Chains A and B, each alone.
Chain A
Amino acid sequence: AQSVTQLDSQVPVFEEAPVELRCNYSSSVSVYLFWYVQYPNQGLQLLLKYLSGSTLVKGINGFEAEFNKSQTSFHLRKPSVHISDTAEYFCAVSQPTSGTYKYIFGTGTRLKVLA
């Protein structure tokens, strides 16, 4: 069975500081990896995804994540955060079976950017 762990439920960080949101997964088979963001009163929006190839994935809004197979991690990073990055971030995995994207989500990390 697959699972996703986001150890940090809340992360406060000052504006313009760097941030890393941690995500670890467990799976006996290869997986696709995703980070989604939910801004207040909005739906989930895809930040970035790892399907194959380069382990460093760049996404929208200056975020990036690195797939580390040996550590089964897919941590999300941003070198300098803005107030507008305040949101809840979800890591997710899925099995790359053809045409279906049944996600297993983590519990989410609330990023609070402070002025």
Chain B
Amino acid sequence: EAGVTQFPSHSVIEKGQTVTLRCDPISGHDNLYWYRRVMGKEIKFLLHFVKESKQDESGMPNNRFLAERTGGTYSTLKVQPAELEDSGVYFCASSQATGAAKAFFGQGTRLTVV
């Protein structure tokens, strides 16, 4: 079974530029989550999709961040324009809709804004 896949694994961009991160969840997983870890801090929840709908976006830092999940399959997280404090590792996770299912995490995208 393929796991959660994230692209790219690393991205270095200049302040003010735009970056788009992609997450391919495990096939059949309706729930998709984005998390972020800023250097040395805890991993923080950003938002949660159920299929293509945003269930909870309470963790999104500001309106420079836009997440989409068209068709309920893969998801993208766009940062526009990027700021220095956006640097960190962005994790995506997916889980099945019901039951005591665990969340499966991707390897993360390390974003560095210079």
Taking Cβ atoms with an 8 Å cutoff, the residues of A that contact B are 4, 34, 36, 41-46, 49, 51, 90, 92, 98-108
- B85 nearest CB across to chain A (Å): 18
Taking Cβ atoms with an 8 Å cutoff, the residues of B that contact A are 3-4, 31, 33, 35, 40-45, 48, 55-56, 91, 93, 95, 97-108
Distance, CA A34 to CA B102, complexed state (A): 9
- A92 nearest CB across to chain B (Å): 8
Question: Do the beta carbons of A101 and B103 come within 8 Å of each other?
Answer: yes
Question: Do the beta carbons of A106 and B105 come within 8 Å of each other?
Answer: no
Interface-central residue, A51, A90, A103, A104, by most chain B CB under 10 Å = A103
Q: What B residues does A92 contact at CB under 8 A?
A: 43
Question: Do the beta carbons of B97 and A99 come within 8 Å of each other?
Answer: yes
Per CB-CB distance, the 5 closest pairs between chain A and chain B, nearest first, are: A44-B105, A43-B107, A105-B43, A43-B105, A107-B42
- A103 nearest CB across to chain B (Å): 7
Given contact pairs A43-B4, A107-B42, A101 touches B106 in the complex (Cβ within 8 A): no
